[in-house]
Amino acid sequence: MTQIVLAIGFLLVCMGFWGLMTRREVFRMIIGFSLLDTGVHVIMVGIGYVRAGTAPIFDEALAVAGAVGKVVDPVPSALVLTAIVIGLAVTALMLSFAIRLHASRGSLAVDDMKELKW
């Protein structure tokens, strides 16, 4: 199961990177960034998953010595929750910039914005 989740994550990262590098419209580049961001989140969750794992609460039922293979790591899950919020804010900011670009230039094609190039 973990290999499937990691494979899906890597597929999303590859699709997002491909979308960022090959598309010449701002909106499609934003979609590629969102796919890449989601793929990274899926990979991080897949790394922290432990099959038949338990919560990291140490008591009589779970000894510290045997906890390495039985406890689910909570740090990747917490990082993913934070990254989802940050990714949502960055995507909203990019979409607002795209709206402003379309309002001022009338197009979202990168090739139409020659005066912005170096």
pLDDT at 1: 73
What residue ranges do the domains of the chain occupy? 2-51+70-116
Q: Is the pLDDT of residue 55 over 80?
A: no
Name the more confident of 52 and 40: 40
Confidence of residue 116 (pLDDT cuts 50, 70, 90): low
28 contacts: CB under 8 Å, gap ≥ 6: 19
pLDDT at 15: 96
pLDDT at 99: 94
Q: What is the CATH number of domain 2-51+70-116?
A: 1.10.287.3510
d(CA 2, CA 52): 12
Q: What is the pLDDT of residues 68-106, one digit of tens each?
A: 777 777 888 889 999 999 999 999 999 999 999 889 888
